Amino acid sequence: MTPLAGYLLLSALLFAIGLGGALARRNAIIVLIGIELMLNAANLNFIAFWRYGPNPEALTGILFVLFSIGIAAAEAAVGLAIIIAVYRHYRTTNLDRITSLKG
């Protein structure tokens, strides 16, 4: 197994763990943690391909990951602000209780 395949498998495993946690847990903040894990798995994928792929001099992988880190930070801030605003209204972060839009 080449090093690139090892890192890609690690990235796929991290993505699957994040996805499983985001789908299976009740608390809104844990879902956000799962989303952050998925973003990080994608970043790892980019850096692995930058290192072992063709044309690493173009620095495309590194720059993509830098922008991705910035966007993930902004998204975490807005997501947590929404969770806090929802908590202030519903007094809970349990996703199964926030059902007033349910048909």
Contact flag: residue 27 with another protein (CB under 8 A) = yes
Write out the two tokens for 79: 């997501």
- As measured in angstroms, the least distance from the Cβ of 103 to another protein is 18
Return the number of the residue (96 or 103) whose C-beta is nearest another protein. Answer: 96
User: Between helices 28-52 and 3-24, what is the axis angle to 10°?
Assistant: 170
Contact flag: residue 103 with another protein (CB under 8 A) = no
Residue 100: phi and psi, rounded to 5, are -75, -10
Smallest CA-to-CA distance from 30 within 101, 96, 102 is with: 96
Contact flag: residue 35 with another protein (CB under 8 A) = no
Interacting residues with another protein between 46 and 85 (CB under 8 A): 47-48, 50-54, 56-57, 59, 61-63, 65-67, 69-78, 80-85
End-to-end CA distance of the chain: 50
Of 2, 99, 100, 102, the one binding another protein by CB under 8 A:
2
- Alpha-carbon distance of 31 to 95, in angstroms, equals 9
- As measured in angstroms, the least distance from the Cβ of 89 to another protein is 10
